[in-house]
Amino acid sequence: MNTYLERLAVRTRQVGSVLCVGVDPQPDALPDGFPATLAGVERFCEVLLDATVPFAAAVKPNLAFFEAFGSAGIAALERLRGRVPADVPFVADVKRGDIGTTAARQAVALYDILGVDAVTANPYLGSEAIEPLLARGDHFAYLLCRTSNPGAGELQNLEVAADPAIGAPAEPLYARVARRAQAWGPGGTVGLVVGATAPAELERIRGIAPGLALLVPGVGAQGGEVEPVMRFGPAVAAPAGGRPGGGLLVNVSRGISGAAGKAGSGAAVSSASGVSADVAELLAVAAQQWSTLLCV
């Protein structure tokens, strides 16, 4: 059985980059030629995946953008999942986590039915609530640690008391999550979500958890800088350290999908697909540029 970290390392070596292509299709932001309907969303995502996967270490769809269409949206996501090659890690941005029995069913839905390789998860309920998401050696969960949204510090930066039992000083909650997460799961199945918009926190988290793989959103449209992410993002110890990219994934969503908006309404249209040829080209160019910026 190949672990998630092993598969990610192989893919990272193949593309020479830690780029993770985010798939967050907003109907009202689709380029010309794609109606603001589920059909338009699915068609745009097909073009996005076909154009960008060659440059991506992984892809990360946000399930909320498909769940908003009900069962038809989930069916569309299942079809898109089948479009992504098996050797490209597929990370579901779902932020799951609940009591054990519920989390177990979440694992079945995501790992067995949708066929994702990794998920994002909320550690707020403690280790028992996400254990089913961590228990499988060939899957992976990225725990929300220090996120990229502007209000992240409202709770994540709250100071928590020292805990002599685990050798923890008084520290922000996000730091405690990073410290605790290292002991969760069977080993090698847990990582952290840390936003590029918080570079000081990113550096601190890497010091606390030198071996955990990181999923880093927030570069590009949210304003995060690439340089500190590439400096502090790769793991420097086991289980993720020592592999191509050090287990790092840097997510880019609008920075790539937004490039399609530059396609003019008068652009050449493929008769087979009915889609502007410029859209695919612009998406591919954006993905290639980000892949170069995030090269390893």
Rounded Cα distance between 277 and 47, Å, is 10
> What pLDDT is stored for residue 276 in this prediction?
60
Residue of 95, 160, 285, 296 with catalytic role? 95
Rounded Cα distance between 88 and 78, Å, is 15
Is-catalytic flag, 60?
no
pLDDT single digits (tens) 59-77: 999 999 999 999 999 999 9
Q: Which tokens in the block code for residue 220?
A: 């590009």
Q: Which tokens in the block code for residue 296?
A: 């390893």
Peptide bond connecting 239 to the previous residue in cis, omega within 30 degrees of 0: yes
> What pLDDT is stored for residue 15 in this prediction?
98
The residue behind tokens 């998630």 is 4
CATH superfamily of the 4-293 domain: Aldolase class I (3.20.20.70)
The residue behind tokens 């996120």 is 147
> What pLDDT is stored for residue 74 in this prediction?
98
Grade residue 174 by pLDDT with cuts at 50, 70 and 90.
very high
What's the pTM? Answer: 0.94
Handedness of CA 259, 261, 266, 271 (dihedral sign): positive
> What pLDDT is stored for residue 270 in this prediction?
45
**What is the residue extent of each domain of the chain?**
4-293
At a CB cut-off of 8 Å and minimum separation 6, what does 186 contact?
134, 135, 137
Q: Contact at 8 Å (CB) between 191 and 140?
A: yes
Write down the mean pLDDT value for the chain.
94
Please say if the pLDDT value at position 271 is more than 50. Answer: no
> What pLDDT is stored for residue 221 in this prediction?
79
Please say if the pLDDT value at position 272 is more than 80. Answer: no
At a CB cut-off of 8 Å and minimum separation 6, what does 107 contact?
132, 133, 135, 136, 139
- The residue count for the chain: 296
Q: Which tokens in the block code for residue 200?
A: 């000081």
Encoded amino acid at 92, one letter: A
> How many percent of the chain have pLDDT more than 90?
90
